[in-house]
Amino acid sequence: MKKALILLSALALACSAPKDNTLTQAEKADGWQLLFDGESLSGWRSFNAPALQGESWIVENGTIAATGKGDDAHGYIVTDRVFENFHLKWDWKISKGGNSGMIYHVQEGPAFQVPYVTGPEYQIIDDENFTEMNDGYVLEPWQKCAVDYAMYVPDFDTAPYIKPAGEWNTSEIIFDNGHVTYLINGKVTVEFDAWTADWFARKNSGKWTNAPEYGLSRRGVMCLQDHGYPAWFKNVKVKELPVKPVEETLFNGKDLTGWVNYGTELWYVDGEGNLVCESGPDKAYGYLATEKYYNDFDLSLEFKQEANGNSGVFIRSTVDGTKVSGWQVEVAPKGNDTGGIYESYGRGWLVQIPDEKENILKEGEWNTLRIRCEGDRVQTWLNGEPMVDISDEKIGGGNGRIALQIHDGGGIKVRWRNLKVKSLSALQ
């Protein structure tokens, strides 16, 4: 009788347990969404490709299965959807000695051959057997399971919390407005804040020294890695978290902390605490860009043009040397469309200001420029007057820094102050 009752209890528990790759009513009400339906790879595609390619990924017995045919350069699949702030949860198991990972905020494009040079990675690996199965290679602490790969490691032994190869583990990533938490089987492994001084120190001194865009994006696709070993994933689900508006001062009035100088032109702080851009001997293009990415934001700043005031504010831009890719809100002498929007590659001027608005610019005096960038839409104001309002799908897909420009040709000098930005989100 006792055995029968135990069996009945076990059966009842099994019947009440949720099926794999489904959501309970409570989860649905709480905003959870499935990223895998258990039957197809709908919603997933190969990295840097419009559809699935290769033989690295299949659906197998209700799992997303890595076949082990991938390698460091190939074998990545990504979500069709982009995510910003989120709670991601998934179950996984790995083959003996195996290696895989979940990468997030991944960026795509011809500049990025692999996803991990842009997105942080929750490492998935068989710590226990990796050395034996990989010619005696000994893992560094930053390579072990449930770390923030090559950045943050647990301050305790995770081994008791990780189930061995061939058994299911549950992992979680919570990315909440830059505060990041990794868990495995309910245990927090690492917790850190992105884009702090400590974060940048780690980024710039180790594995990512030569990966300038690593970890900067505030949003991107999710990515699973086939690193040459079979691995299985199921119950992949996500809950999107709201953006918490934050106001930041981009320039501290003392030095160039938080900025990166591209080129040989001059950027310095004057005796009154203003940021100055000035042509140098090379008379070339120069850019001063934020360390961080800003996608959806409301930016205000003041500028004063001295000598030739040909400059600009780039949005959602990346810089390689002095080659910039992105969109410029023009700052130029009167008659040259201050407040208009120019694409630095391809299309040129997207929108110029009406001639009757040219007199809004106060040459030789302080001007206030406001830029609101939200999704596809960009609006600009000069001294409180609306200048342009444009919706553009290509801008909506952009991602990158805010950058100030010195135009080439020499003789340019512009002062800047009171650079303040408020975060927005077009994903909500």
Could you give the percent of the chain with pLDDT greater than 90? 90
How many helices (H) and strands (E) the chain has is answered by: 5, 28
Q: What is the pLDDT of residue 310?
A: 87
Q: Where in the chain is the domain with CATH 2.60.120.560?
A: 27-240, 247-423
**pLDDT value for 90:** 98
Q: What is the pLDDT of residue 18?
A: 78
What tokens does 306 get?
């001295």
Class assignment of domain 247-423?
A: mainly beta
- Give which of 174, 296, 181 is closest to 241, Cα–Cα: 174
* Per-residue pLDDT, 345: 84
Three-state DSSP class for residue 12: helix
Looking up tokens 């790879």 gives 41
The predicted structure's pLDDT at residue 321: 87
Cα–Cα distance for residue pair 70/56, rounded to 1 Å: 6
The radius of gyration computed from the CA coordinates of the chain, to the nearest angstrom, equals 25
Phi-psi region of 348 (alpha: psi -120 to 50; beta: other; left: phi over 0): left
The pLDDT of residue 13: 44
Name the CATH topology of 27-240: Jelly Rolls (2.60.120)
Q: Which amino acid is at 137?
A: Y
Q: Give the chain's residues under pLDDT 50.
A: 8, 10-11, 13-15, 428
* DSSP states along 245-278: --EEES--SSS-TTEEEESSSEEEE-TTS-EEEE
Taking only the tens place, the pLDDT of each residue in 351-405 is 999 999 999 999 999 999 999 999 999 999 999 999 999 999 999 999 999 999 9
Tens-place pLDDT, residues 314-329: 999 999 888 999 999 9
Tell me which H or E stretch contains 203: helix 197-203
Predicted local distance difference test score (pLDDT) of residue 428: 44
| Residue 413: closest CA among 275, 321, 299 | 275
